[in-house]
Amino acid sequence: MQTLILDFVLPASMVVLMTGMGLTLTPRDFRRIVDAPGATVLGTVLQLVAMPVVGIALALAFDLPPYLAAGLVVIAACPGGMFSNVFVHIAGANTALSITLTASATMVTLFTMPLWVRLVLDQVGVGAAEIHVPVVDTALRLGGLTVLPIATGMLVRAKWPESVRLEKGCTRVGALGIVGALTYDALRRPELPVAEFEQSLLPAFLLIAIATAMGLGSARAARLSFRDAVTLTLEMIVKNSLLGLVLARSSLAFEATIPIVAFSLFQTPLGVAMLAFWRWTARRAGESLPALRVNG
């Protein structure tokens, strides 16, 4: 039963979720990379290079065990997801930029994440040699979980534009499947890893705090508008944690999911705070903002 859930239900749910993301995308979302390269390149580099470097530094600074170190780097190297797009939309920030950053970073993640995980395991040293993370196989797995279903969703939408209405169903089914499979996996364990969770809390908090400062600071240093700076920062702190959980559990071990869960506890309240701060700032500046809801 466990093999069926972890080897079929878990990855299949991720595929359904990412197909839903594909249904929300069009080629225009990728053309924005050419139309507005500065913000897109900066956001992608921060997500896929700077944050993993910070994750590795924190893992070494806190002397995390190999699986916890790998899990922290997995979430650091994850792109934003559909939830970051929702946060940006509700905030009234740059939704088009958010979607473009999510799409571009997700496509590149399959090349970058396996390398970062392998690097942190090499740096951790003792005990890490027993953890095998084949870069090519992990990249192929990521491609099957992200690029292929996203491309499928985009093709379906191009042929049947009305299929975009299926996105919410795909998102809900995929998310419930992932959460259900991981919950089942956790409940089968005789002891909950409380000590490992406590050990992961501070590094996860520092990771998201540094991401916030780095996002706002880098965007402003690059002379982006405050609206784009908020968008970029939300992409960095509201991660596609479900993708990280699936990859950590399927390619590493259950323990690697613990820092990802710890990070997820912080990303929603911080994302809401960033959302509220931007709306307050924009209203003071007299900007027109959407209502606090997502039209469905």
pLDDT tens digits, one per residue of 162-192: 888 888 888 788 878 877 877 777 667 656 6
Residue percentage of the chain with pLDDT more than 90: 21
User: What pLDDT score does 296 carry?
Assistant: 38
Q: Which residue has the higher pLDDT, 185 or 204?
A: 204
* Per-residue confidence band for 295, with pLDDT thresholds at 50, 70 and 90: very low
Q: Mean pLDDT throughout 131-135?
A: 62
Can you give the pLDDT at residue 74? 93
What proportion of the chain, given as a percentage, has pLDDT over 70?
A: 84
Higher pLDDT, 200 or 86: 200
Amino acid letter, 66: P
Which pLDDT does position 50 carry in this prediction? 94
Least confident of 12-21, 130-139, 204-213: 130-139
For residue range 89-118, list pLDDT tens digits in order: 777 777 778 888 888 888 888 888 888 988
Between 266 and 31, name the one with better pLDDT. 266
Which tops the pLDDT comparison, 81 or 115? 115
> 128 pLDDT exceeds 60?
no
Domain 2-284 has CATH 1.10.3720.10: no
Q: Indicate the pLDDT class of residue 52, thresholds 50, 70 and 90.
A: very high
Residue 85 pLDDT > 50: yes
Position with higher pLDDT, 237 vs 282: 237
Question: Is the pLDDT higher at 34 or at 156?
Answer: 156
- Tell me, what's the pLDDT at 14? 77
pLDDT at 100: 83
Render pLDDT for 218-254 as a digit per residue (tens, 0 to 9).
998 998 888 888 889 988 998 888 888 888 887 788 8
Mean pLDDT along residues 42-46: 91
Arithmetic mean of pLDDT, 43-48: 91
Please state the φ and ψ torsions of residue 67, each to the nearest 5 degrees.
-65, -40
